Amino acid sequence: MYCFFYFPQNNTIRKDDLDKLTNKEIKSIFVDKFHNSTDFKVREFVSLQKFDSILFFFDNIVDVKRLDKEVIEKLMQDSQEVAVDDIVNYACRCCITVGQGEILDTVSDAVEKLLNGFCVLYFNKCGKFLCFDVKNFQSRSIAEPPTSAVLKGPREGFNESIATNIMLLRKRLKNSDLVISQMPVGKYSQTQVAIVYIDSIASDEVVNKVSKKIQEIDIDGIIDSFYIQKALEERSYSLFQQVGTAEKPDVIMSKLLEGRVAIIVDGSPIVLTVPYLLIEDLQSSNDYYFARAPRVTFLRLLRMFGILIAIYLPGIYVAVQVFHYKVLPYKFLVTITNATLGIPFTPLVEILFIILLFEGLTEASLRMPSYLGLALSIVGALILGDTAVNAGLVSSPAVMIVALTGVLLFTVPDQEAQLSILRLIFTLVGGILGLYGIICASVFLIAYLTNLDSYGTPFLAPYAPNVREDKKDGFRRYDLRAMKYRPKSIPNKNKIRLKKL
């Protein structure tokens, strides 16, 4: 049994001194501070059979049983003779058996601790507060995240509790170089945000930059890690994210080992990582846990083709119908012509209509109650797949193309939102300018992406600029034994990661 106690530095003592206030006065200060909140509890009792004590806590966020057993019971049952001036030290060092405790000098510090699940103890006219960590924040159990399912491999995922998330990382990285630097962010929410990195690997420049950006945040509340993400991005108005995200501790672990910095936000299961490369979204946990290198290469290329088909196919279809019928082979042309004969919409309108219909269906399916899901999905399939085509409102090639691209968007789920917008843009461009417009838009997109950087790392590395060594884990994945060095694209201190396998 021991307690951590922290004696604040002189320069952190606040101006509101305790000044030997009585229990009653302290009680009224706290009750006023918390505006008579009903979950704010006050327990008065006698400690060591002679000292009037008062205990403050929020009953919904503390472990009441622990409080009773390790604090109140200990104090009430102890009968040691202790001087008034020594009561605080005695209680902290010899009596109370809670693991983490602090001695505080100011009311504001005590308020902050109360809000973080501590209980605060005051002895009559002793002039100091004792606080102990008895927090008991309820959170979701550790489960596999729905968007990162694996066939073989770890299935643990982060949840909303920062403590749990840090625990999941600590148990995987048992090294003293793993640094976790936690700070509260948000005026009202005081959300705990932890910066995690491996000191001997991560670049100091990146770490300092991340810390600085987070410290500069001045906001009412942080609800999700997305808010931090926005603060970390250098171009927050861009369509493309410049900060990576992950929901699994094994993924974050591998990213930390490459030299990245992770940011965990209390209340969010999504952990952020910087620097970020676009190629990361093409990589999946499955690629590292059971599939062989040639299979992984095939899968990554498949994902890439899936993306290209998803964003280009509707635009090319419209462009070819409106401007470039010559491109299509004859039999294909006959099939499409026959299928679109009698359709009242022009090709661009038809495709946009179907895309919007599918997007609406996707959006509705996220929100509809599960017991209606089956019925509505049948309606959606029948209406779009069968009735609309038979009625001659839309053609079957168009429905097939939009459905196919809708499915292919999810080959890379993290980019689904961006790809969906791109699909729309290329469809519009294809309908307005044809293949030439699509080509110009593609070059524009490529130029835009090559201009993006994420904390000094080019977004499209290792392909633009070319970083030969990093291509071992790009579209083509080499065997694990070949990956001896950390990625050159990510700034890091220690280059070698594998000496012998």
Partner 1 sequence: MISRVVRKIYIAILIIALILLLPVSMGLPQQTLDRSLILAFGIDKAGDEFEVSAQVMVPESSQSGYKEKREVKSNKGSTIDKAIASLQLNEGKELAVAHANILVVSESAVGEDINIILDYFIRDKDIGYLTIAITPDSAKELLTISSQATQDKDSLLRLISYNNEYIFGTESTLNKVLFGYYSPSQTSLISRLTLKGEESSGTEEQQSGQTGQQSLASSEGQGQESSTQSAPKQIANDGSLVILKNGKIITALSPLEYRGFHWLMPTVYSSFIELQNINTDTLNNATVMLDIVNSKDDIEYELTNDNKLLINFHTTLEYQISSVQQDKYISNNYAEYLNDGTKVIESALQTLIDSEVQSALKLSKDYQIDIWNIYDKFYQKYGDKFVKYVELNEGDYLKDLQIIVDVKVKESKI
Partner 2 sequence: MIKDITGRQAIVMMAIVMCATKFFILPSNLITNGHQSVIYVMLLFFVIEFLLLLVMVRVSMLHPDKTFYQLLTESVGVVIAKIVYLLFFCFFIIKLSINIIETYTFFLGTLYDELSSVLYVLPILLLAFYMTYIGLRSIGRSAELLWVFVFLGLAVTLIVAIPNADFGYMLPIFDGGANNAITILSNNSLWFGDYFVYLFFLGKIKFDKNYFPKFAIISGLVMLGIVFFMTLFYCIFPYISGIVHYGVSDITHITTHINNIGQLDWLNVTLWTFASIIQTVIFAYCAERCLSDLFNIKYKYLSSSISLIILVVVLMLLDFRLTKLIMFVQGPVHFLFPVLLVIALNIITVHFIVRHKEKRQKKLAGVIYD
Question: For partner 1, which is the closer residue by CB, 312 or 323?
Answer: 323
CA–CA dist 332, 320 (Å, integer):
12
CA–CA dist 156, 182 (Å, integer):
23
Is 346 a binder of partner 1 (CB under 8 A)?
Answer: yes
The interface partner of residue 254, options being partner 1, partner 2, none and the CB cut-off 5 to 8 Å by kind, is none
Site string for partner 1, 287-326 (x = CB under 8 A): ----------------------------------xxxxxx
Is 442 a binder of partner 1 (CB under 8 A)?
Answer: no
Map tokens 């599960």 to a residue. 370
Site string for partner 1, 192-231 (x = CB under 8 A): ----------------------------------------
CA–CA dist 481, 501 (Å, integer):
6
Which one of 463, 475, 478, 485 is in contact with partner 2 (CB under 8 A)?
Answer: 463
**Angle, nearest 10°, between helix axes 293-322 and 416-433?**
30
Question: For partner 2, which is the closer residue by CB, 383 or 440?
Answer: 440
Q: What is the CA radius of gyration of the chain?
A: 30
Is 344 a binder of partner 2 (CB under 8 A)?
Answer: no
Question: For partner 2, which is the closer residue by CB, 104 or 278?
Answer: 278
Question: Which residues lie closer than 8 Å to 377 by C-beta, 6 or more apart?
Answer: 365
Stretch near partner 1 under the rule CB under 8 A, chosen from 103-111, 290-298, 335-343, 359-367: 335-343
Question: Which residues lie closer than 8 Å to 78 by C-beta, 6 or more apart?
Answer: 47, 48, 49, 95
DSSP H helical segments within 281-414, as ranges? 286-289, 293-322, 330-340, 347-367, 370-381, 388-390, 396-408
Site string for partner 1, 392-431 (x = CB under 8 A): ---xx-------------------------------x--x
Interface of this chain with partner 2, residues 403 to 442, rule: CB under 8 A: 433-437, 439-442
Is 334 a binder of partner 2 (CB under 8 A)?
Answer: no
CA–CA dist 388, 391 (Å, integer):
5
Question: For partner 2, which is the closer residue by CB, 481 or 495?
Answer: 495
CB of 348 to partner 1, least distance (A): 5
- CA dist 379 → 14, 95, 104, 361, 405 (Å): 65, 67, 63, 10, 20
Interface of this chain with partner 1, residues 360 to 389, rule: CB under 8 A: 389
- CA dist 340 → 280, 337, 390, 394, 398 (Å): 40, 5, 12, 8, 9
User: Total residues at the site for partner 2 (CB under 8 A)?
Assistant: 28
CA–CA dist 252, 450 (Å, integer):
25
Retrieve residue 201's tokens.
């690997």
Which one of 101, 269, 315, 347 is in contact with partner 1 (CB under 8 A)?
Answer: 347
Apex 79 CA angle, 77 and 82, nearest 5: 130
Stretch near partner 1 under the rule CB under 8 A, chosen from 193-201, 329-337, 376-384, 453-461: 329-337
Is 446 a binder of partner 2 (CB under 8 A)?
Answer: yes
- CA dist 235 → 229, 240, 242, 415, 464 (Å): 11, 9, 8, 17, 19
Is 443 a binder of partner 2 (CB under 8 A)?
Answer: yes
The interface partner of residue 451, options being partner 2, partner 1, none and the CB cut-off 5 to 8 Å by kind, is partner 2
The interface partner of residue 435, options being partner 2, partner 1, none and the CB cut-off 5 to 8 Å by kind, is partner 2
CA–CA dist 282, 284 (Å, integer):
7
Is 249 a binder of partner 1 (CB under 8 A)?
Answer: no
Residues engaged in binding partner 1 (CB under 8 A): 321-326, 330-331, 333-342, 346-349, 352, 389-390, 395-396, 428, 431-432
Residues engaged in binding partner 2 (CB under 8 A): 323-324, 326-329, 332, 433-437, 439-444, 446-447, 450-451, 458, 460, 463-466
